[in-house]
Amino acid sequence: MAFEIAPDCRYAENHEWICVEGDTATIGISDYAQQELTDVVYVELPEVGQSFGQGEPFAVVESVKAASDVFMPVAGEVIEVNASLEDAPEFVNDDPYGDGWFVRIRIADPGELDGLMDPDAYRAYVAAQAS
Amino acid sequence: MSKRTPLYAEHQALDARMTDFAGWEMPVSYPAGPLAEHARVREALGLFDLSHMGQVAVSGPDALAFLQHLATANIARIREGEAGYAPLCYADGGLVDDAFVYHLPGRYLVVVNAANAEKDLRWFDYQRSGFDVTIEDLSEQTCMLALQGPRAQEALQPLTPLPLEELGYHRVAEGQVAGAQMAIGRTGYTGEDGFELYLRAEVAVAVWRALLAAGAPLGLLPIGLAARDSLRFEPCMPLYGHELGPDITPLEAGLGWAVALKKGPFIGREALLKERLEGSARKLVGFEMTERSVPRHGMEIEIGGAICGHVTSGLYAPTLDQFLGMAYVPAEQAAVGAEIGIVIRGRTRAARIVKRPFYTPSYRR
């Protein structure tokens, strides 16, 4: 299965990506994850101002088949949510690293980023999972 | 280990995503995706491998009497060359299964749910004493395909000498398709016109390929189980394990039209007659989410602060672009227009009871 991996992001084991900009970051799910989910029909997002620990579920993505939790790659406070997903959940499928982003957060502990995978490590991780 | 249909390699070649369903490794979707597959069946044409379904041939002098004993519907009304829907009940009115019965020359072909096939056969065996019948499990050697959508006849006609224009809704005939002998029913589970084909497993690959090729110019897509579910959901066709089960009666499920209380004795008649006279305690309703969220099987229904039912199926309905569900609620709270709550991940979301079906089937009659 062919899938894209954005070069400027880091990745968590549950297939979330995080793209860091200073002390904030944007979070979404990977191209591999959206392909595994198939068509996304609904995304339940958190409220701005909510804080989550690393690995905590912060959103729910509903595909045709089932609901799946989306987990925080690092701890942080939600400073913006992608409200356009309410009317256009298909952005998650069509543009997972762009219009399909989920939330922006203020990072609580930048040290947690070190535990995430870089694109090469994530590619190897997915290949190992798929085989 | 999961069972595989004769078309497993064909699904792999089409890059299908496979899932385990009722002990079978089945395609859940193909690369087009469930929403595109759903739309294609509504607008044009789709091809389904349904070989996991069970097929039982019932023949012999008492075949009709035996099926009348098992089914709540009046099987005598299914004349040769016709097909009909048949709920099967326990003595307490709970559902053993729901079947489709095809009346072929000299025998009935009873098509049952994959998950229930073994149980049904044991049930038939327990009930057969006193009936001069032959019961044959054909599931292993039979492949079932469905060709569904408004362009189904156009795609199938060039492959068969049978005049399909004359094969009306819920009719069945035996004949050749792509050179292979089979039973062809004008039946389906999508709310669209179409055909279900019952053929020998050895010819399945050749027939599957012939149908794919014949349908391609008409927009045919192979369809997985995800779209099969959303296609049957919109016209509110019940699914065993969801709307139907051993603790649910056909009257509760809104299948009163398939319960022929006056046809004579059958298993479950006393219980269903009592329920008909006294009224059902609960009813299957359809609802739309007025607050966006996806209702799912098993979620609780809240009315006036009390939990009083559960969701049987729920999903995003692609044709209607709405979040819809079906649920059992107390009969006195089942009125169309009533406001109800669906407990979704600990939060109660607003919904409203609406008329079923959500989508009106467009059959040829």
**Region B20-40: what's the mean pLDDT?**
96
Residue A5 is assigned to a structural domain of this protein: no
Q: How many domains does chain A have?
A: 1
Sort out which chain A residues have CB atoms less than 8 A from B291's CB and list them: none
Q: Is B26 on the interface with A (CB under 8 A)?
A: no
Residue A80 is assigned to a structural domain of this protein: yes
Q: Do residue B144 and residue B229 come from a single domain?
A: yes
Beta bridge partners, A51, equal A77
Six-digit token pair at B148? 């569904």
Specify whether the CB–CB gap between B257 and B304 falls below 8 A. no
Q: What is the pLDDT of residue A28?
A: 98
Q: Do residue B151 and residue B115 come from a single domain?
A: no
Residue B238 is assigned to a structural domain of this protein: no
Q: What is the pLDDT of residue B365?
A: 53
The secondary element (H helix, E strand) that includes residue B318 is none
Q: What is the pLDDT of residue B1?
A: 76
Provide the mean pLDDT of chain B.
97
Sort out which chain B residues have CB atoms less than 8 A from A61's CB and list them: none
Q: What is the pLDDT of residue B132?
A: 98
How many beta-carbon pairs under 8 angstroms link A with B? 40
Q: Is A4 on the interface with B (CB under 8 A)?
A: no
Q: Smallest Cβ distance to A41: which of B17, B227, B316? A: B316
**Domain final position from B115, B137, B159:** B137
Q: What is the pLDDT of residue A131?
A: 63
**Region B122-136: what's the mean pLDDT?**
98
Q: Do residue B48 and residue B145 come from a single domain?
A: yes
CATH number for the domain that contains residue B31: 3.30.1360.120
Q: What is the pLDDT of residue A2?
A: 84
Provide the mean pLDDT of chain A.
95
CB contact under 8 A, B34 and A86: no
Q: Is A129 on the interface with B (CB under 8 A)?
A: no
pTM for the predicted model, two decimal places: 0.94
> In terms of residue numbers, what domain contains B195?
8-53+140-233
CB contact under 8 A, B34 and A65: yes
Residue B358 is assigned to a structural domain of this protein: no
Going by pLDDT thresholds of 50, 70 and 90, the confidence category of residue B361 is confident
Six-digit token pair at B94? 């709970």
Sort out which chain B residues have CB atoms less than 8 A from A62's CB and list them: 294, 316
pLDDT for B2 beyond 70: yes
- State what percent of residues in chain B have pLDDT above 90: 98
Q: Do residue B49 and residue B187 come from a single domain?
A: yes
C-alpha distance from A3 to closest chain B C-alpha (Å)? 13
* Dihedral of alpha carbons B325, B331, B335, B340, sign: negative
- DSSP 8-state assignment for residue B244: B
Q: What is the signed CA dihedral for A60, A61, A66, A72, rounded to 10 degrees?
A: -60
Q: What is the pLDDT of residue A94?
A: 96
Six-digit token pair at B261? 């209380």
Nearest CA in chain B to A1: B15
pLDDT for A19 beyond 80: yes
How far is residue B133's CA from residue B261's CA, in Å, rounded to a whole number? 24
Q: What is the pLDDT of residue A116?
A: 98
Beta bridge partners, B86, equal B99
Count of C-beta atoms within a 10 Å radius of residue B202: 11
Going by pLDDT thresholds of 50, 70 and 90, the confidence category of residue A65 is confident
Q: Is A3 on the interface with B (CB under 8 A)?
A: no
CB contact under 8 A, A62 and B35: no
Q: Is A44 on the interface with B (CB under 8 A)?
A: yes
Read off the pLDDT of residues B66-122 as tens digits, 9 standing for 90 and up.
999 999 999 999 999 999 999 999 999 999 999 999 999 999 999 999 999 999 999
**Domain final position from B87, B121, B137:** B137
Residue A2 is assigned to a structural domain of this protein: no
pLDDT for B266 beyond 60: yes
Six-digit token pair at B255? 């299948």
Q: Do residue B110 and residue B123 come from a single domain?
A: yes
Read off the pLDDT of residues B147-199 as tens digits, 9 standing for 90 and up.
999 999 999 999 999 999 999 999 999 999 999 999 999 999 999 999 999 99
Q: Do residue B59 and residue B85 come from a single domain?
A: yes
Sort out which chain B residues have CB atoms less than 8 A from A60's CB and list them: 345
Six-digit token pair at B129? 């004493």
CB contact under 8 A, B226 and A38: yes
> In terms of residue numbers, what domain contains A117?
10-126
Q: Is A88 on the interface with B (CB under 8 A)?
A: no
**Region A56-76: what's the mean pLDDT?**
96
**Region A19-44: what's the mean pLDDT?**
96
Q: Is B233 on the interface with A (CB under 8 A)?
A: no
C-alpha distance from A21 to closest chain B C-alpha (Å)? 32
CB contact under 8 A, A41 and B345: no
Specify whether the CB–CB gap between A39 and A96 falls below 8 A. no
Q: What is the pLDDT of residue B364?
A: 59
Q: Tell me if residue A31 falls in helix, strand or coil.
A: helix
CB contact under 8 A, A38 and B315: no
Q: Smallest Cβ distance to B294: which of A38, A41, A93? A: A41
Q: What is the pLDDT of residue B293?
A: 94
Nearest CA in chain B to A36: B17
Q: Is B348 on the interface with A (CB under 8 A)?
A: no
Sort out which chain A residues have CB atoms less than 8 A from B28's CB and list them: 38, 65
Residue A4 is assigned to a structural domain of this protein: no
DSSP string for residues in B152-216: HHHHHGGG-SS-GGGS-TTBEEEEEETTEEEEEES--SSSBSEEEEEEEGGGHHHHHHHHHHHHG
CB contact under 8 A, A44 and B293: yes
Q: How many domains does chain B have?
A: 2
pLDDT for A1 beyond 70: no
Q: What is the pLDDT of residue B102?
A: 98
Q: B interface mutation test: which of A3, A39, A63, A86 has the most B CBs within 10 A?
A: A39
pLDDT for B336 beyond 90: yes
Here the ipTM equals: 0.87
Residue B173 is assigned to a structural domain of this protein: yes
Q: Is B51 on the interface with A (CB under 8 A)?
A: no
Read off the pLDDT of residues B199-244 as tens digits, 9 standing for 90 and up.
999 999 999 999 999 999 999 999 999 999 999 999 999 999 999 9
CATH number for the domain that contains residue A103: 2.40.50.100
